[in-house]
Each structure stands twice: as C-alpha cells, then as structure tokens.
Amino acid sequence: MKFISFKHDNIDKFGIIENNLITDLTGKIGAASNLKELIKIKKIKEAKEYAKINPGSIKTEEIEYSPLIPNPGKIICVGLNYIEHAKETNRTVEENPVIFHRFPESQTAHMQAIQRPSVSKSLDFEGEMAVIMDEGGKHIKSEEALKHVVGFSCYNESTIREWQRHTRQFGMGKNFEKTGSFGPHMVLAEDIPDYKSLTIETRLNGEVMQNAKLSQLIFDIPILISYVSKAMAWRAGDVLVTGTPGGVGSKRNPPVYMKPGDNVEVEITNIGVLSNTVKDEIIHQ
C-alpha cells in the first residue's frame, strides 16, 4: 500500500492511495492528523486494515499533492554518495558521509511547481531516494538500522548551484523555497524486499539525465542511518535523502539548468514517478 499527503477541499489530509483512489485516514487512526503522527503512534498496520474495509473514494484529480512528510523534524541529506557524481565534481570520496540539512520550508510536492528563484538561473536537478524513518533514537547499529525504516519515496533535491558554491557549506544552495520535491507517495519498507536492486532515473523534458542502481551508493542506507544516529536521534517522520547519481546539469558541457516550462521527473522502480514543472519565483512588492 502507498501512503500519501494531500489537500482536499483546502484541508490538509493524508491517506492510502490505490488505483488512483484515496482512502482518507485523517483523524481515523488514533486521531493522527498527518502521516508523521501516524508513524509516531505506530499505527501503520491499523491504517492498512482500515483501508481494506474502507475503499478509496477521493479521486487524484480532486486533490493537490503535499510533500510526503510536510512537517519533518529534520531532513538529512547526503552529498557525493555515488562514484560518478563524485568524479564529475572533481571531488574525492570522503572517509565519512557528507551530511547537510534541508528545512521543511524548502519543500514542494508531486505535480506542484519547483521554483526557480529570482536571484539565480542555476537551478539543477538531483534525483534521489528518500528514506522515511521511525522512532529510532540514537546509536543505532548498522546491522539493525533497516528495522527503523518505515518506507521509501522519491526526492528531487534541486539545487541552486551558484549559491551552493558561495562557500564550502552546501546549505544556502539547498534551501531555497519550493526547490526540494518530495513524493508522490511512500511505499512501505516491508513491500521493498531488496531496495539495492532498484533503479533511479531522472528525466528532463523526457530526456534521461541520470540513471543508476541503488546498489551503487558509496555509503549504504544502514551505514548512513547509523552514522547520523551517533550525533542526533532519529525521530518518527524524519527523512534521509541518500544522494544523487552522476549526470547533474551543472557538470554537462554546456551546462543544463532547469528553466520555466520544463518538466522534470524522478522515477524509482517499484516506488513511483515524482513529476514537477518549473516556474519562476513571483516577487510580491
């Protein structure tokens, strides 16, 4: 089953989607009002059972998608986690993962616009797998890390390259409003027996720009979960964005940046397709 966050009749909701029909779970399972709360109260099983006896009635054309977890406590991102991406950026593989943070305000959703900011035209795509965490706590052993994963989704960790390069820290280039697209839904970890066999692909206006296997991650998901947990506790609904393959637009000759009117897709086999158009930021005087 696939979990989704959305707006319906201008109300924030979440539910389970099957065959383009959504079962609204808002307030139905332990009074959880969003997906993060459902994960926190550990009621995924009850939600699945509810959806089996309450078939979906809301059509996808009636909704507006929201970021899968609109209100995560933290979004932990990983840089330079595929060999080809490290090579194209002329960076060496680090001894430890390159970790940085996104803020929830930087997110957008499936079928919503990725926003090119007014201060730069260097808006680049980064297709990545997102890992949605349970209440894991600190000091998680890598061999036990996957027990704390609730599910997987797609993430376009779009980046303003010009601003990313202002300093050695990535943060400013990674946190412009409506640049990090998250969705379209969460597939439960129990339904993905071997995530390493999955393929991730990014397409810009139908042209394949990135393609890789999840098995090509330099620092695998259990290692990342364990490493981060040495410093901070994993909480329900936290998000781990695992890194992008080679093929980013800024390292092409000539560079290829996203522009208004473009369509960008991130697809992960057995998970789904995250689709966005690109629009310019509108500055309100």
Q: What is the dihedral of CA 214, 218, 224, 226, to 10 degrees?
A: 120
Q: What is the pTM of this model?
A: 0.97
Is residue 92 predicted with pLDDT exceeding 90? no
Q: Are strands 64-65 and 127-133 parallel, antiparallel or unpaired?
A: unpaired
70 in any annotated domain: no
Count CA atoms within 13 Å of residue 179 on its CB side.
Answer: 29
Q: Looking at the DSSP assignment, which residues form a beta bridge with residue 5?
A: 14
Q: What b-and-e string marks burial along 108-127, b requiring 16 or more CB atoms within 10 Å of the CB?
A: bbbbbbbbbbeeeebbbbbb
Final residue before a domain boundary, out of 14, 35, 65: 65
Task: Please tell me whether residues 49 and 139 are part of one structural domain.
Answer: no
- Residue that is last in its domain, among 14, 41, 65: 65
If asked whether residues 221 and 264 sit together in one domain, one would say yes
The predicted model gives 196-214 an average pLDDT of 99
In a domain, 58, yes or no: yes
pLDDT band at 220 (very low <50, low <70, confident <90, very high): very high
Asked whether residue 29 falls in the same domain as residue 123, the answer is no
Q: Are residues 57 and 82 in the same domain?
A: no
Q: Round to whole Å and give the CA distance between 165 and 181.
A: 21
Number of domains in the chain: 2
- Considering the domain architecture, whether residues 59 and 15 belong to the same structural domain is answered as yes
Task: Note the pLDDT of residue 252.
Answer: 97
The phi-psi region of residue 192 (left if phi > 0; otherwise alpha if psi is between -120 and 50; otherwise beta) is beta
Residue 212 to residue 86: CA distance in whole angstroms: 14
Q: Mean per-residue pLDDT for 141-153?
A: 98
In terms of residue numbers, what domain contains 13? 2-65
Question: pLDDT class for 158, splitting at 50, 70, 90?
Answer: very high
Q: Are residues 117 and 241 in the same domain?
A: yes
CATH of the domain at 174: 3.90.850.10
Q: Are 76 and 171 in contact (CB under 8 A)?
A: no
User: Is residue 47 located within the same domain as residue 85?
Assistant: no
